[in-house]
Amino acid sequence: MIIENLNLQKKFHRLKRTLELAIKRRKPKRGLILHSDQGRQFASEEFAQFCKKHHIQQSMSKAGCPYDNAPMECFYNTLKNEYFNIHTFKSLEDLNQGIYDFVYVKYNDKRPHRYNGGQPPCAA
C-alpha cells in the first residue's frame, strides 16, 4: 500500500497528483501493481499511459466481480472493520492522518497477512 491520500472527488488530475506524490514519497520498485475498480479515471487511456510511464501494472476487477481484485477488496474490508468502525474523526485532516497511521504504522509494517504467507506487506 503506497497511497494514503483520501480524495473525495474522483477526477483524473487528483488521482494523478496523488499517485505522483506517493511515488515521490515511497519510491516503489518497478512492477508496482495498482489494484482498482473500473472507475472511469482508472480505465482511461490517459491513466494507462501514466501507469506505463511509471512502470505501474494495472489490476482491475471485472464489473460486478470484486473477487477479481481480492487484495484491494480485502484491504478496504480491513480498513473499515479495524479502523473506521472504531474511530471518529473531527476533520478531513484528522481522517487523512488516521488513514496514514493505520496503513504505515499497522497494516504495512506489522499486521500479518494470509495472502503473504503470514508476513506483513513490507516483508513479503
Mean of all residue pLDDT scores within the chain:
82
In this prediction, residue 48 has a pLDDT band, given cuts at 50, 70 and 90, of very high
Compute the Cα dihedral for 10, 16, 17, 22 and give only its sign.
positive
> Domain range spanning residue 110?
12-123
Query: How many domains does the chain fold into?
Result: 1
- CATH of residue 107's domain is 3.30.420
On whether residue 1 sits in a domain, the answer given is no
On whether residue 7 sits in a domain, the answer given is no
Question: Which residues does residue 22 pair with via DSSP β-bridges, in sequence order?
Answer: none
Top pLDDT among 62 and 55 is at: 55
On whether residue 2 sits in a domain, the answer given is no
Beta carbons within 10 angstroms of residue 27's beta carbon: 8
Q: Which residues contact 79 (CB under 8 A, 6 or more apart)?
A: 99, 102, 107
Lowest average pLDDT, out of 5-9, 86-90, 118-122, goes to 5-9
pLDDT the model gives residue 8? 45
Dmax over Cα atoms in the chain, in whole Å? 39
Pick from 20, 114, 25: which is nearest to 34 by CA? 20
Provide the percentage of residues in the chain whose pLDDT is more than 70: 90
pLDDT the model gives residue 53? 94
Check whether 118 has a pLDDT greater than 60.
yes
